[in-house]
Amino acid sequence: MAPSASAVEPGQRFRYGALDYLATSDMHKDGALSCIGTMNVTWRAKVKCKLGFMCYGTWQNNAEGGTRESKSESKCAFSVEDVIIDPIA
């Protein structure tokens, strides 16, 4: 199992195991994680809005490599505060 990851603000990158992630937020205030690499772990974006509530993106797996994106339908009232990976083994 990969090490735990820290929450990051949209626009920041982080590494989780063998995967590289980019946290993003779009004009609708939906948070997402874009992931590049190969590692057999199932994951999704966990998005925290400025008002404190959490939303989750779609489940993804990078076992076959390439780029995957997990996007929430958070529609945060003000903005996305941070995004973190929510993994399962």
User: Tens of pLDDT along 26-67?
Assistant: 999 999 999 999 999 899 999 999 988 899 999 999 999 999
Place of tokens 């929510």: 86
Q: How far apart are CA 30 and CA 44, in angstroms?
A: 14
* pLDDT for the residue numbered 31: 94
Q: How far is CA 32 from CA 11, 49, 83, in A?
A: 10, 12, 7
Q: How far apart are CA 70 and CA 26, in angstroms?
A: 13
Q: Is the pLDDT of residue 3 over 90?
A: no
Taking a C-beta distance cutoff of 8 angstroms, is the pair 8, 15 a contact?
no
Q: How far apart are CA 15 and CA 25, in angstroms?
A: 18
